Amino acid sequence: MNKGPNYEEMVNDILCHCIFALGSGAKMPIKLDALKALRDHVRPSFRAHVSGPEKGPMKGKPGMPRWNESSQFLLSCCETIGALAAINAVTRGSSIIDLDDLKKAYNVVSEPYHRHEPFLCAWCPVWIVGTLGHPPDHH
């Protein structure tokens, strides 16, 4: 019995590629909690993008064709995020990238696309600095 595409496995494979590209750009250690937080932040949008119906920015057949359409650009973004996160870490006097270094770099790289490229920003939602992906409490 064919259960259809395994989108979770596809997303896991895509995230492996992205984390490898991030590390290639960083060329220095990244704290595991920072990598996990990034993974957890983008996983829902990656899953929706890979498996969602054909509408709006999600054109073509669901599955790997959608990743293949954007993969080179997104992997380049990951590499750039890694490089910028390394600069952030070194600037604060560390030889290890932490969560805030990574979040700040992610937002610098992805923010212009949220304004001008709705198809590309569907992959990478805004990440609020100073939180673990959740809006800050307003007291």
Contacts of 33 (CB under 8 A, 6+ apart): 99
**Statement: 7-121 belongs to CATH 1.10.8:** yes
- The pLDDT tens digits along the chain (139 residues) read 557 789 999 999 999 999 999 999 999 999 999 999 999 999 998 998 888 877 665 666 788 888 888 899 899 999 999 999 999 999 999 999 999 999 999 999 988 777 766 656 667 777 875 544 433 333 3
Neighbour count for residue 63 (Cβ, 10 Å): 15
Q: Where are the domains of the chain?
A: 7-121
Please give the backbone phi and psi of residue 30, each rounded to the nearest 5 degrees, phi first: -125, 130
Residue among 99, 91, 14 at smallest CA distance from 49 = 14
Got the DSSP string for 116-133? H-HHHHTTS----TTTTS
Question: Which pTM value belongs to this model?
Answer: 0.84
Q: Residue type for 75, please? A: L
